[in-house]
Amino acid sequence: MATIETESRPVSGNKFSLGRILPISGTYLVLLVLASLYVFVFVWTLYSSLKTNPELFANVWSLPSVPQWKNYRVVMTTGNMLQYFYNSLKYTVIIVGARVILSAMAAYVLARFEFRLATPILYYFLSALMVPSMLTTVPCFILMKNLGLLGTQWAYIILAITGLPFNIFVLIGFFKGLPQELADAAYIDGCGEFTVFWRIMLPMARPGLLTVAVISIIGVWNDFMGPLIFIRSKAHYPLATAVYFLKITMQYNADWVAMLASVVILMVPALTMFVMFQDQVMKGLNLGEALKH
């Protein structure tokens, strides 16, 4: 009777093996701890801003017995927060609008046109991402002083608008992935280069524009050091810088709940913007990277 020899095959490793699960679980655990910490700080600041000062010092962790919404009224009236809020809104609209338009123009040229200096110019922009902003503070300070703009709103606005490299890097991926046939059809119909960019290519890159706009809005809204260095008049400070000086005032007045209320007023707009558009931002970044390849 013949015997049949069977070939022993090594059992392939399970794709859900312990060696794969542990690193992923550790990563998610660290992210969960960090997210919980940030959420806890925000929630604590929110409900502590609705306390009275005696309640806050009696028990830091307790909930307010009766929500004190007047704390926000005190901050808005005595702290001149409406003016600072308007300043932040003004700076955000001007700076973000200019950033999006200028970065879109630069990215379109670098992505759609072939010329000798395209790659060096792109690397020049990208190299700015590796330079810490603090290293450029002194040269920018001297430049604005020599131009006679130091201490004015325009010194901060002009320097903030130059924060283009990240936007250009993101938008290049979108413009590279757009079909050339649409541009060729527009050329045949008699459209000029600017018309093709403004009326055809730019609307098609809307996900990328939304991505860089949201990221820029959050960055400009929370900017503290720029206005502090380049703007002298406190009446022109944005909300983020004004909250710092309001904190000093509230410390002398021992009105800590009002200071917490001002922090909430600063955080809520940027947090709301991020929550509303976080899916679009992540999809935009992933789509831009996919189109680039």
Each residue of 123-147: pLDDT tens digit? 998 888 888 888 899 999 999 999 9
Q: Are residues 23 and 108 in the same domain?
A: no
Question: Does 33 share its domain with 97?
Answer: no
Question: Domain for residue 54, yes or no?
Answer: no
Per-residue pLDDT at 292: 53
Q: What is the pLDDT of residues 84-127, one digit of tens each?
A: 999 999 999 999 999 999 999 999 999 988 888 888 998 998 88
Looking at the fold, whether 176 and 34 belong to one and the same domain comes out as no
SS (H, E, C) the chain: CCCCCCCCCCCCCCCCCHHHHHHHHHHHHHHHHHHHHHHHHHHHHHHHCCCCHHHHHHCCCCCCCCCCCHHHHHHHHHCCHHHHHHHHHHHHHHHHHHHHHHHHHHHHHHHHCCCCCHHHHHHHHHHHHHCCHHHHHHHHHHHHHHCCCCECHHHHHHHHHCCCHHHHHHHHHHHHHCCHHHHHHHHHCCCCHHHHHHHHHHHHCHHHHHHHHHHHHHHHHCCCHHHHHHECCHHHCCHHHHHHHHHHHHHHHCCHHHHHHHHHHHHHHHHHHHHHHHHHHHHHHHHHHHHHC
Domain hosting residue 35, numbered range: 18-48
pLDDT at 168: 93
What is the pLDDT at residue 6?
46
Indicate if 34 and 175 belong to the same structural domain.
Answer: no
Q: Domain for residue 11, yes or no?
A: no
Residue 265 lies in a domain: yes
43/115 same-domain check:
no
Please state the domain count of the chain: 2
What integer pLDDT is reported at residue 231 of this predicted model?
95
pLDDT at 288: 56
Tens-place pLDDT, residues 44-90: 999 999 999 999 989 889 899 899 999 898 888 877 888 999 999 99
Q: Is residue 89 part of a domain?
A: yes
Give a yes or no: residue 154 inside a domain: yes
Question: Which domain CATH number covers 284?
Answer: 1.10.3720.10
pLDDT, tens digit, for every residue of 253-288? Answer: 778 888 889 889 988 888 888 888 877 777 776 665
Residue 114 sits in the same domain as residue 210? yes
